[in-house]
């Protein structure tokens, strides 16, 4: 595998990194979280003007034809800034399903608007009785009607669900798990906004016999489970990159704090025990970076290699992020727990990232059951 960035990829990294560094400070993030949407429309427009909303879409659909590496570059920069805008929900998750399942007419009506920053979309899949990354306990149902479908059920913890112009809902049909486009303004749809423990805007949905037209179905009935599994792999690869960005920011903030915080007249960074902990934080961050690169490059590989590599990356980064977060908070002392300081927010985000779409234990168990990282011949 080639780990060198191309000239275009380096330019992308400089552009998005510069925007986050210069225009998305911690105060800007706090202001965005206080918005009724849970993020800033102005920032979303900026992201669109930079072309970042089109990175993952093919050129024929109005995007820029990027792949896993481009997504990694964007998400790592967003991790450094703890960006709260719904990029994962709209571009990675909903966008991934649109790319793979939507008809030409469905794509034409949505992807150009997403790229222009004019449409927020998200996936509504998780339910109260089951984990976010499986379909085994899916209870939301869609039944065929003479003029379409009738949708019934409930979804929880939908990313940007209250701000979305449209949702993609997973439901069980006679053919199997299927995906449906849902206008949240339809009769029978109730949306309740809330916040996750990391401050990110979420929503819970209640679907009471919602009538959908026949064209609301995405792809073929019954193919939803396979599509969701593929998109969850992409989402985990994106989250791995975001986690590396968060870890890198925490490492830099912690080392700077160790240089400036004094005790007994000396900078605490001069104590060897604390230096050793900072070095271990660096090692965990760089190991995680390597795994995030592996996950990004593996998105173009075959299904068996892809899922194993992404699972291994999520497991390693989950453990590494936990260590870096704990050390950063401890080395900062009490200030690391305050709402006014970035470190505590970063640790919360790392914790949320690990839990999304399967934590480290889940992925390790799946790899062990499958025989390890490399399939046995």
pLDDT in tens, 323-370: 999 999 999 988 888 889 999 999 999 999 999 999 999 999 999 998
pLDDT attached to residue 137: 84
Tens digit of pLDDT for each residue in 105-130? 999 999 999 999 999 999 999 999 87
Same fold, 7-120 and 122-220: no
What pTM did the predictor assign? 0.95
User: pLDDT-derived band of residue 4, with 50, 70 and 90 as boundaries?
Assistant: confident
CA 363 to chain centroid, in Å, comes to 17
Tens digit of pLDDT for each residue in 155-175? 999 999 999 999 999 999 999
- Please return the burial class of 377, using the count of CB atoms within 10 Å of its CB with bins 0-12, 13-18 and 19+: exposed
Cβ atoms < 10 Å from Cβ of 93: 26
Q: Where are the domains of the chain?
A: 7-120, 122-220, 225-370
Reply yes or no on whether the pLDDT at 55 is more than 50: yes
In terms of CATH architecture, what is 7-120? Orthogonal Bundle (1.10)
Reply yes or no on whether the pLDDT at 377 is more than 50: no
- The dotted CATH code for 122-220 is 2.40.110.10
What kind of fold does domain 225-370 have according to CATH?
Butyryl-CoA Dehydrogenase, subunit A; domain 3 (1.20.140)
């Amino acid at each position: 595998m080639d780990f060198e960035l191309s000239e275009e990829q380096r330019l992308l990294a400089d552009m998005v990194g510069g925007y986050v560094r210069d225009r998305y400070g911690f105060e800007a993030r706090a202001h965005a979280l206080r918005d009724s949407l849970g993020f800033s429309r102005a920032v979303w427009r900026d992201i669109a003007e930079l072309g970042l909303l089109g990175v993952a879409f093919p050129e024929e659909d109005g995007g820029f034809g990027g792949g896993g590496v481009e997504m990694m570059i964007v998400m790592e920069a967003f991790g450094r800034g703890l960006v709260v805008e719904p990029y994962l929900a709209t571009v990675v998750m909903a966008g991934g399903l649109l790319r793979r399942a939507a008809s030409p007419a469905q794509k034409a009506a949505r992807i150009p608007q997403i790229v222009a920053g004019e449409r927020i979309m998200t996936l509504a899949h998780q339910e109260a009785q089951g984990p976010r990354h499986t379909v085994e306990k899916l209870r939301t149902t869609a039944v065929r009607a003479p003029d379409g479908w009738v949708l019934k059920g409930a979804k929880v913890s939908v990313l940007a669900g209250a701000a979305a112009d449209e949702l993609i809902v997973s439901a069980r049909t006679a053919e199997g798990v299927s995906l449906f486009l849902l206008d949240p303004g339809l009769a029978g749809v109730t949306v309740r906004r809330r916040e996750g423990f990391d401050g990110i805007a979420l929503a819970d949905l209640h679907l009471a016999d919602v009538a959908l037209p026949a064209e609301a179905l995405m792809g073929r009935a019954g193919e939803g489970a396979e599509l969701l599994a593929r998109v969850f792999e992409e989402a985990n690869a994106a989250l791995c990159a975001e986690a590396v960005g968060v870890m890198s920011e925490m490492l830099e903030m912690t080392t700077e704090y160790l240089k400036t915080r004094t005790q007994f007249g000396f900078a605490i960074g001069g104590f060897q025990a604390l230096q050793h902990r900072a070095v271990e934080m660096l090692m965990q961050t760089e190991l995680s970076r390597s795994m995030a690169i592996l996950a990004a490059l593996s998105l173009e590989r075959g299904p068996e290699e892809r899922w194993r590599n992404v699972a291994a990356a999520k497991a390693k980064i989950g453990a590494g992020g936990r260590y870096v977060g704990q050390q950063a908070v401890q080395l900062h002392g009490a200030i690391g727990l305050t709402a006014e300081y970035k470190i505590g927010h970063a640790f919360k985000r790392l914790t949320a990232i690990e839990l999304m779409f399967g934590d480290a234990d889940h992925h390790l168990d799946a790899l062990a059951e499958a025989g390890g990282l490399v399939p046995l011949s």
